[in-house]
Amino acid sequence: MKILITAPTGKIGRRIVRELLSPEFSVRVIVRDPARLATEIREQVEVISGSLDDAATLRRALDGVESLFWCVPAESLSETKVEQHYERFAYAAWQAIREARTPRVVTISAGGKGRARRAGPISGLHAMEEILNESAAAICHLRCGLLMENLLSQMQGILEHGFLSYPIPGHIPVPFAAASDIADAALRRLVRKDWKSIEAIAIHGPEDLTHSQVAALIERVLQRPVQYRRASTQQYTEKLVQKGASVEYARAQVAMFSELAGGIMRAEPRTPESTTRTAFAAWAESELRPLVQSHSSEARTTVASFDSELGRACVAA
């Protein structure tokens, strides 16, 4: 079975690639910079070099593919049209999927479909769904909660000042999901051949948490004081702009948090199937604590990289 994985170096994609490295699967990846792939991965997969927003490259990569894992790379800090970022990639995929007659596609999307209006990247992901639904493929959209891994962008504030901060009230519960659980859900659907419709599956993580609860759990795991401080719209916008973000990008992030505070994630009710296994405390123990314990010059570089790359709360590659 030939499967194409996009964003194979991302938080979700890299987990999927490793799980598919077995004789029963033929794995192809599309990546802008093949050097970012681990050597042992490059030796076991077919690599297509190129960008996901190039329909011709995608069409070539989809030749003979039975299942496509589709994950749009997160927009850059300098992006001025956040929602259109996701639409641009989606139109390229729509064209390539139709031409290649790819039978099945699994996408990474976000919760809140039908409730979110002007929610920045979340609205962009929902627009992506609508575009891909016209590609004639069977599609499974994974509508995910907030990615636990994105909290790594707050590590610098946690380590140096003892707090994390977003422009959302600390008492609003939202679903948090681990990248490993999202990857597992995607894998289960990618390897099946018995589905032919368009559907959506919610990935909610084990429970809804407020950001104040998240801070308390981090404090317990790290055994150091951690508090949640709500940032004002102006504070958060200024902080992102200081890091190199465009004003439009910053406003899109603030709009997303405003919509999250309004309860858009309730659009997909929690069910036993949407409730995944990785508890937040267990994730913090396996992901956050080792980073803190290795807090050296190398770890500082890692934290700075996370802060630049992952300063967003919606699910990303």
Is 266 a member of any domain? no
What CATH number does the domain containing 79 carry? 3.40.50.720
Q: Report the percent of the chain where pLDDT is more than 90.
A: 86
Residue 187 included in any domain: yes
Q: Is 158 part of a structural domain of the chain? A: no
Establish if 36 belongs to a structural domain.
yes
Count the domains in the chain. 1
Mean of the per-residue pLDDT values of the chain: 92
Residue 30 lies in a domain: yes
* Confidence class for position 295, pLDDT limits 50, 70, 90: low
Residue 7 lies in a domain: yes
CA end-to-end span of the chain: 23
259: in domain: no
Structural domain boundaries enclosing 27: 2-147+178-203
SS3 per residue for 203-264: ECCCCEECHHHHHHHHHHHHCCCCEECCCCHHHHHHHHHHCCCCHHHHHHHHHHHHHHHCCH
Whole-number Cα distances in Å, 140 to 8, 35, 145, 173:
19, 30, 16, 26
Residue 182 counted as domain residue? yes
pLDDT higher than threshold 60 for residue 66: yes
Q: Are 113 and 250 in contact (CB under 8 A)?
A: no
Tokens at 120, concatenated: 């920045």
CA distance 204 to 232: 27
pTM, 2 dp = 0.91
Mean pLDDT across 122-127: 98
Share of the chain above pLDDT 70, in %: 93
